[in-house]
A and B are shown apart, each in its own frame.
Chain A
Amino acid sequence: MPENQGGNSQLVLRLVTGEDGASRLMLAGDCTLAALCHQLQPLSAELAGYATNPELHWDITGIAHMDDAGAVLLWQAWGERHPRHLALQPEHERLFNRLEKMPPPPAPPARDRLWPVTVLGKAVFLLWEHLTNLIMLSGQLLLDSIYLVGHPLHIPWREISANLYRTGAQALGITALVGFLIGVVLSFLSSRQLQMFGADIFIINILGVSIVRELGPVLAAILVAGRSGSSMTAQLGVMRVTEELDALTVMGIPHSLRLVWPKVIALGIAMPLVVLWTSAIALIGGMVVAEIQLGLGHQFFLSKLPDVVPIANLWLGLGKGVVCGMMIALISCHFGLRIKSNTESLGEGTTNSVVTSITVVIIIDAIFAVIFSDFGLR
């Protein structure tokens, strides 16, 4: 074993002319990555300059330590072969022999000139795959529900309750904050416009219909999609990475029944409640501003609200909540189960899941708006 060395000594090049008249390049010091790190480029150029002389005698016996990086440096300077005259220590010879025997690196794959077509085709197939998988998952959930009707003892109550708490109870804070602020802003902006026409009283109609029918459900759904949807996807994804999903399979516990079904049911229950809560808080926010801006008393506001906003709007809002909630859970679980066991796939899956859920929420809202266009409006 070599003697102890404190730190690294620099590599020193010395060109001497021997007695036989041949010029001789002596290398001494450390030829390791740590020693060469800061002077690699100039040194590489200098060595390559020396190597242009084929008759040069290379004497590298003075090198105390040499590692792979140092050997590669010399090897590249020599043009990937042994120079004609070389003197070296036997333990360093092994390094160069390894380099000589090294297989050529694999060629980078040639770029396909049809790539726009393949990319488009792959995207179409992926979309098709997502659609069929989603339909299969929905069908599986339906079968699970039928099974559970026959076997009520197998209903995963604990999972449902845990999911209710996580997606419902724990979402109350953020939905209240966002709902209140939206109510305040909406009421403030509308009241300024209405004041111009002297139509102050219609603030109740505007706030009531827009919040109960549209804003409450959509806001709650978007917040829940971002909050609970991402956590569901990530949870299933991590379970894939840590092989927990496989463990469940070998125990004979179906993923859809134990993981997906309770999430879909729980969010289907929690979502309308969150919608109700968001709408209520947003209305309170609007009411507060209406009182300050327009001097509309809150008792008047509350007594007038049921008259100007038909109750059908509330049912519509809650209905949207149920559908959006179940769709968010379904999409999140679909993406979660597709995650492969690597970190990149986990990140990508979570992003896709949230983006898709939010898009689907907006689409569902639009569909509801079209179907129920003459429902609950006077």
Chain B
Amino acid sequence: MMAGECIIEVEGLYTRYGNHVVHENINLGVHRGEVLALVGGSGSGKTALMRQMLGLEKPAQGKVRVFGLPLYGDRKKLQDMRNRCGVLFQKGALFSALSVYDNVALPMRELRALDEGMIRKLVMLKLKMVDIDIKHATKMPAELSGGMIKRIALARAMALDPELLFLDEPTAGLDPELSEAFVKLIQTMRQELTLTIVMATHDLDTLVALSDRIAVLAEQRIVALGTLPEVLKTNHSFVRNFFCGERGKRSLENHSNI
């Protein structure tokens, strides 16, 4: 993978919750156009790190820069930066008071530059992209299945055609077939658009299929960072257990067969 400019730079980041230290001196760069996967056991701070990249949480110490801009800066610049990011939350985080259509249309309307006719076309395009039938557009999120919520949340995350996409456990809670379809969907989107993706995941199949580089979080720091073969060479107990266990071997084999 090319070593292009960094879209996200994390420097000397520390996270503490009370006395509990989650991250200790994390340094990480996300290059343009790559898919970086954050891997780690539960409680290793994958989601916390992602939330800090989004500016939802402030690190105890250290700097995070997105598109070369520091978070917590000028409001206007921060908003511009946010418009260039899309986020898929773990449980979708669809607005339960809004219909599917309005959920996807909301970020476009907030831009206050697009007229309703254009918004309608764009929403239909996005819904079609995630393979949601038009007849579901008027439904409320409470009436939808988990897989549909995930896909609509992805459509909403993609509403403004972001350059940077955050995926928090994109395939958690989906059945294998759906999660495979989800992976395919993200792969197609990557072909059409220059997307940079940061994703936190547990799912080995997703990880192997999508990621260009992998950052392994364990013991409060990044124990391995690089492409899959590079990470596999690392001699760390978590990496060994995670990738070379029964499940890990199976999905690595599956992938090499393709």
A residues adjacent to B (C-beta < 8 A): 1-2, 4, 6, 32-34, 37-38, 40-41, 65, 67-69, 72-73, 75-76, 91, 94-95, 98-99, 102-103, 105-106, 340-344
With a CB–CB cut-off of 8 A, which chain B residues contact A91?
A: 192
Q: How many residues of B contact A (CB 8 A)?
A: 36
Shortest Cβ gap from A206 to chain B (Å): 50
Contacts of B163 in A (CB 8 A): 34
Q: What residues on A are CB-neighbors of B84 within 8 Å? A: 34
Docked pose: A95 CA to B117 CA in angstroms: 18
B122's partner among A37, A68, A343 (CB-CB below 8 A) is A68
Nearest chain B residue, comparing its CB with the CB of A92: B192
Q: Is B124 an interface residue (CB 8 A)?
A: yes
List A contacts of B192 (CB < 8 A): 91, 94-95
Kindly state the separation between the CA atoms of A67 and B192 in the bound complex, as whole angstroms.
Answer: 8
Q: Which residues of B contact A4 (CB under 8 A)?
A: 4-5, 32-33
- Chain B contacts of A40 at CB under 8 A? 113-114
Q: Within 8 Å CB of B138, what residues of A?
A: 106
- Whole-angstrom distance between the Cβ of A73 and the nearest chain B Cβ: 7
Please state if A2 and B194 are interface contacts (CB–CB under 8 Å): yes
Which residue of the partner chain B has the closest CB to A340?
B142
Bound: A40/B117 CA distance, A: 13
The answer to whether A102 and B126 have CB atoms under 8 Å apart is no
Main secondary structure of the interface of A (DSSP, over half): helix
Given A72-B122, A73-B118, A102-B128, does the pair A38, B193 have CB atoms closer than 8 Å? no
Q: How many A-B residue pairs have CB under 8 A?
A: 83
Q: Do A65 and B194 have beta carbons less than 8 Å apart?
A: yes
Write the nearest CB–CB distance from B33 to chain A, whole angstroms.
5
- Report B's interface with A, CB cutoff 8 A: 4-5, 32-33, 83-84, 95-97, 111, 113-115, 117-118, 120-122, 124-126, 128-129, 134-135, 137-138, 140-142, 160-161, 163, 192-194
A184 to chain B, nearest CB (A): 43
Q: Is A69 touching B161 in the complex (CB atoms < 8 A)?
A: yes
CA distance A24 to B256 in the complex (A): 49
Choice from B4, B96, B128, B161 contacting A343 with Cβ under 8 Å: B96
Is the pair A67, B193 in contact by a Cβ cutoff of 8 Å? yes
Check A76/B113 contact, CB under 8 A, given A4-B5, A34-B84, A343-B97. Answer: no
Q: Are the CB atoms of B120 and A105 closer together than 8 Å?
A: yes
Cβ B126 vs Cβ A106 within 8 A:
no
Contacts of B124 in A (CB 8 A): 102-103, 105
In Å, the complex CA distance between A106 and B137 comes to: 8
Beta-carbon nearest neighbor of A101 in chain B: B128
**B248 → chain A closest CB, angstroms:** 28
Known contacts being A40-B114, A344-B96, A344-B97, is A1 close to B121, with CB within 8 Å? no
* B95 partner residues in chain A, CB cutoff 8 A: 343
CA gap between A2 and B192 in the complex, in Å: 11
Chain A residue contacts of B96, Cβ below 8 A: 341-344
CB-CB under 8 A from B121, the residues of chain A are 72, 75-76, 99, 102, 105
Closest to B125 in A: A68
Minimum CB–CB distance from B212 to chain A (whole Å) comes to 11
Contacts of B141 in A (CB 8 A): 342
Query: Which residue of chain B lies nearest to A7 when distances are taken between CB atoms in the complex?
Result: B67
23 contacts between A and B (CB under 8 A): A4-B4, A33-B111, A37-B111, A38-B113, A40-B114, A65-B194, A69-B122, A69-B160, A72-B122, A73-B118, A76-B121, A99-B121, A99-B125, A102-B121, A102-B124, A102-B125, A105-B124, A106-B134, A341-B96, A341-B142, A342-B96, A343-B97, A344-B96
In the complex with contacts A34-B83, A103-B124, A69-B97 CB distance below 8 A: no
Shortest A312–chain B CB gap in Å is 51
Q: Which residue of A lies closest to B135 (CB)?
A: A106
CA distance A33 to B119 in the complex (A): 12
Bound CA–CA A322/B66 (angstroms): 60
CA distance A38 to B115 in the complex (A): 13
A165 to B84, CA, bound (A): 50
Cβ contact of B142, chosen from A76, A98, A342, cutoff 8 A: A342
CB distance from B62 to the nearest CB of A (A): 25
Q: Which of A6, A40, A67 has the most CB of B within 10 A?
A: A67
